[in-house]
Amino acid sequence: MRKLLTFFIFILSLNISSGQWTEQTTPPPHFNLFSFSFPTLNTGFAVGYGNTMIKTTDSGNNWYNISIFQNTAQDLQAVWFINENTGWMCSTNDSLYHTTNSGISWNTQMKFPGDGQKIFFINSSTGWILAQPNLYKTTNEGLNWNIIYSNMGLYYTFVNENTGWMTTYSGGSSTIHKSTDGGVTWNAQYSTSSFRVIYSFAFVNENTGWAAGYREHILKTTNGGVTWIQQRDMNNSTGLFSMDFINENTGWAAGGSGYSLYTVNGGANWNQVSLPAGRGNIKFLNSQTGWIIGSKIFKTTTSGLTFRNLQLSLLTEGFYNSITNTFVSDTFTVYLKNANSPYENIDSSVSVINTQGAGVFRYFNAVNNVNYYLAVKHRNSIETWSSLPVSFSSGELNYDFTLSAAQAYGNNLIQVNSSPVRFAIYGGDVNRDRIIDASDLSTVENDAGAGVSGYVNSDLTGDDFVDAGDLSIVENNAASGIVVINP
């Protein structure tokens, strides 16, 4: 949809501060929280030391205590909700508890031979519970739990109903194991050494994932664990106890010494941020909203990253009405390109240019005082670059393609008004092959003859009809040999 506003991030490096994580106020007593679950963006639960359970129904703006057990100091080890009402919780009294009324009351569902330590669901039907040494599994929304494996390590994850990883500890090292049958069998893949104990996993798909642990030891695999490559090792006493990745580039690891780490290039570089959440757990609910919960609670709504704003003015031929000096609003992608050959993509943002020809594009990878070319892409206009590299200052950059042809590299703009003076991007690259030619003309001719309507690439005027007006634009620009001009 043309009104959609979203962001696509191609990230390589970034400088940020912990200011993008906001500490939230919780009710006393302030005990360590061991586990949390958000079945929705607004509703969340966290459990921890000394019979502590807290709940929010407004995305963390307010938290309140839920009394689970009276007159006991037992710890609540793990919690997971599959929706706002239905959840499970494990405590140090070797029991699994179940609620169907959003935590108002809990019923004992089963007894374990020891403490329940972790609950994890991959979807509303399939989940696992670790109560060492046993791994329990359900495939019917927790109605039944069955032991499927009896030699489990303490840390595990699944990326789908069948594929998962877990780690065991022996003799000063961790061994990573993989399951391809939902946890029934496990095969050893990789062993660490010198007390590089693995505490956490994060996978974005069956092939690409990370493992992290003691001494800030981080491993990565891109082939489903066949090989693991070391990305970081600080040989210190800090443990990384929880990880989560938003995509293959952007991820976080929560540390136990008052700071956490982030990467924006798939772990090639890890950067430190002060986040004193103790031995916290980290989880992103979507690409923007994430939580770190431990001795304190921190929340972000910006992926934990600082964005920089490009205030951009531009028009496209055909979409601009010179009589009313207005523009048919549409969606554009603007890339930040390296200022030097081979001009690779540094970042990109998708946003809407409004009826006045203005829009705001946000970047998480832009660095102040570093030069970038701007490259504008649109569904049926020629890709157009800024005339020179430009830079952000204090997180802001203004650029106006409408002022003159000289604003574009190679003067690759067309004048669309003389009073006021307005320049626009050439329209007609319907197939987006970087040249306006006979193939584009053929598409528009065919669609015009067929009376095609709606939000289609062959509509060069933005009126949702393909007709003679669209043909005129592509004919003129094909005859003029309009192509992409870039460094």
- Cβ atoms 427, 474 nearer than 8 A: yes
Q: Which of 47, 42, 69, 44 is nearest to 55 (CA)?
A: 44
Q: Which of 325, 324, 396 is nearest to 363 (CA)?
A: 396
- Cβ atoms 233, 218 nearer than 8 A: yes
- Sign, Cα dihedral of 293, 296, 301, 307: negative
Tokens of 138: 């359900």
d(Cα 412, Cα 483) in Å, to the nearest integer? 9
Q: Is 257 exposed, middle or buried (0-12, 13-18, 19+ CB in 10 A)?
A: middle
Tokens of 398: 């203004």
pLDDT attached to residue 22: 92
Question: Beta-carbon neighbour count of residue 222 at 10 Å?
Answer: 15
Tell me if the pTM is above 0.75.
Answer: no
Tokens of 374: 């701007």
User: Which domains occur in the chain, in start order?
Assistant: 18-300 (2.130.10.10), 308-479 (2.60.40.4130)
pLDDT attached to residue 70: 64
Cα–Cα distances in angstroms (integers) from residue 458 to residues 32, 269, 316, 378, 473, in the given order: 59, 43, 14, 12, 11
Upstream peptide bond of 342 is cis (omega within 30 degrees of 0) = yes
pLDDT attached to residue 15: 35
pLDDT tens string for the chain (487 positions)? 333 333 333 333 333 334 489 999 988 888 899 999 999 999 999 999 888 999 999 999 999 998 777 656 688 999 999 999 999 999 888 999 999 999 999 999 999 988 899 999 999 999 999 999 999 999 999 999 999 999 999 999 999 999 999 999 988 889 999 999 999 999 999 999 888 999 999 999 999 999 999 999 999 999 999 999 999 999 888 899 999 999 998 999 998 878 899 988 899 889 888 888 988 999 999 988 999 999 999 999 988 887 889 999 999 999 999 999 999 999 999 999 999 999 999 888 999 999 999 999 988 778 899 999 999 999 999 999 999 999 999 999 999 999 999 999 999 999 999 999 999 999 999 999 999 999 999 999 999 999 999 999 999 999 999 999 999 999 999 999 999 999 9
pLDDT attached to residue 72: 62
46, amino acid identity: A
- For 4-19, letters b (16+ CB in 10 Å) and e give eeebebbbbebebebe
d(Cα 184, Cα 370) in Å, to the nearest integer? 52
pLDDT attached to residue 12: 32
pLDDT attached to residue 11: 32
- Cβ atoms 214, 199 nearer than 8 A: yes
Cα–Cα distances in angstroms (integers) from residue 354 to residues 315, 351, 423, 457, in the given order: 10, 10, 16, 19
Which residues pair with residue 245 across a beta bridge? Answer: 251
462, amino acid identity: G
d(Cα 45, Cα 130) in Å, to the nearest integer? 19
Upstream peptide bond of 487 is cis (omega within 30 degrees of 0) = no
Tokens of 103: 């935590």
- Residue count of the chain, please give it: 487
- Cβ atoms 87, 99 nearer than 8 A: yes
What radius of gyration, in Å, describes the C-alpha atoms of the chain?
27
pLDDT attached to residue 7: 33
Helix (H) or strand (E) holding 298: strand 297-300
